[in-house]
A and B are shown apart, each in its own frame.
Chain A
Amino acid sequence: DAEITQSPRHKITETGRQVTLACHQTWNHNNMFWYRQDLGHGLRLIHYSYGVQDTNKGEVSDGYSVSRSNTEDLPLTLESAASSQTSVYFCASSEEPDYNEQFFGPGTRLTVL
């Protein structure tokens, strides 16, 4: 069965360190998204990609970067982790066109000390 996976599921890091969160999907979807979810807020879009070599900034992209070298993977990098980036991170993918449902990974809980 097709799926979308994230790793690690839990991560504790220190302020200033670079952190990369992995996202891998076997749906063969062109569209991939990274969100963060914080208490009291809706899901907020960090970065998204509509295909290989395509990346776009979302609502809360400062301090984050992504790269898309193949269809299956969209790793999210925190260049210099800050305590404000403590959150739960979800990766999602969808089939074109944009009004199709998004399939979410299980999430990564990141704590920045």
Chain B
Amino acid sequence: GQNIDQPTEMTATEGAIVQINCTYQTSGFNGLFWYQQHAGEAPTFLSYNVLDGLEEKGRFSSFLSRSKGYSYLLLKELQMKDSASYLCAVLDSNYQLIWGAGTKLIIKP
């Protein structure tokens, strides 16, 4: 079966750095997405990785290792507005998105 695992909840301090991990086992791989979802709102796109390595976009970076079936999202200089759920999703061999359950990130002052 297809499976995406990410921690249910994480807590971090304002101004710090946090890494949210995602491991996946899917039928095929055509890329990995990270989305941010604030409570009661729609998911919004953060990043897309299809090749191994690190993609940096401002305070957010996303890393992919296809051989290990592993990705992480790195958030730097955390702000209170970063409190949200972070969703990992893999595009499988049929170009369907398989979604993880999301990681709820709580930022404390």
What residues of chain A have their CB less than 8 Å away from a CB belonging to chain B? Answer: 40-45, 58, 90, 98-99, 101-107
Smallest CB gap from A31: residue in B? B95
Please give 20 more A-B residue pairs, beta carbons under 8 A apart, in addition to A101-B45, A104-B44. Answer: A40-B101, A42-B4, A42-B87, A42-B89, A42-B98, A43-B87, A43-B97, A43-B99, A44-B99, A45-B96, A98-B95, A99-B48, A99-B95, A101-B33, A101-B48, A103-B45, A104-B42, A105-B42, A106-B42, A107-B41
A42 touches B100 (CB 8 A): yes
| Residue B7 lies at the interface, judged by CB distance under 8 Å to chain A | no
Within 78-109 of B, Cβ neighbours of A (below 8 Å) are at 87, 89, 91, 95-102
A40 partner residues in chain B, CB cutoff 8 A:
101
Q: Nearest Cβ distance between residue B51 and chain A, in whole angstroms?
A: 12
B31 partner residues in chain A, CB cutoff 8 A:
99
Which of A44, A98, A106 contacts B41, CB < 8 Å? A106
| Residue B61 lies at the interface, judged by CB distance under 8 Å to chain A | no
Smallest CB gap from A104: residue in B? B42
What residues of chain B have their CB less than 8 Å away from a CB belonging to chain A? Answer: 4, 30-31, 33, 41-45, 48, 50, 87, 89, 91, 95-102
**What's the Cα separation between A98 and B97 when bound, in Å?**
9
**What's the Cα separation between A44 and B42 when bound, in Å?**
14
A98 touches B30 (CB 8 A): yes
B101 partner residues in chain A, CB cutoff 8 A:
40-42
A40, A58, A90, A99: residue with the most chain B Cβ atoms closer than 10 Å: A99
B87 partner residues in chain A, CB cutoff 8 A:
42-43
B41 touches A99 (CB 8 A): no
**What's the Cα separation between A98 and B102 when bound, in Å?**
22
